[in-house]
Amino acid sequence: MSDPVRAPSKSARYLFVLIAGLLIGAVATVMIMRAIQARQDHFPSSLMTVMSKQTQLLSDSQKQNRCSINDTSPRLQTLRSLANDLEQAFPSLRDDQRFQLSASRLRATLNDALAKPPADCASLAAVSQKIGSDCKACHQDFR
């Protein structure tokens, strides 16, 4: 006698459909998130990231007792160049007086630092503290 062939259970089909639906849903979610991310402007966050890294490198130079003009001037020049793009990075704040004042204050601090570069760690500490306070003032108002 032969054994009757059993039909596949419905639960196996449901499990297959569930797994396929979850997989398709995950792929669709990733595609949608990538499309949304591609439409975002990364310039503001990139500018802040690079400025933050430059100030961190200034701080690292101070901690390593590498405070000569040759060590600090490139960082200050980079920060000054990046500060020129603040209004372009944040077009919605371009007309805000507080933002303009904060950006101008930062540029003035960097201009002063470049006009008379810090030659020792004590003056570098003062410049770094002033740059940090200018950045913090803007972040408190607009973050």
**What average pLDDT does this structure show over 14-18?**
93
Share of the chain above pLDDT 90, in %: 82
Q: Please, what is the Cα angle at 36 between 35 and 39, to 5 degrees?
A: 90
Arithmetic mean of pLDDT, 8-18: 86
Question: Using an 8 Å Cβ cutoff, are 119 and 67 in contact?
Answer: yes
pLDDT in tens, 24-49: 999 999 999 999 988 888 999 999 99
pLDDT above 70 as % of the chain: 95
**Region 81-101 average pLDDT:** 93
For residue 51, what pLDDT is reported?
97
Predicted pLDDT of residue 65? 93
Higher confidence at residue 12 or residue 129?
129
The long-range contacts involving 52-55, CB below 8 angstroms and separated by at least 24 positions, are 54/78, 54/79, 54/82, 55/79, 55/128, 55/131, 55/132, 55/135
Round to whole Å and give the CA distance between 64 and 53: 16
Write down the mean pLDDT value for the chain.
92
* Residue 106 scores a pLDDT above 60: yes
Least confident of 5-19, 58-72, 103-117: 5-19
Identify which of 114, 111, 105 has the alpha carbon closest to the alpha carbon of residue 132.
Answer: 105
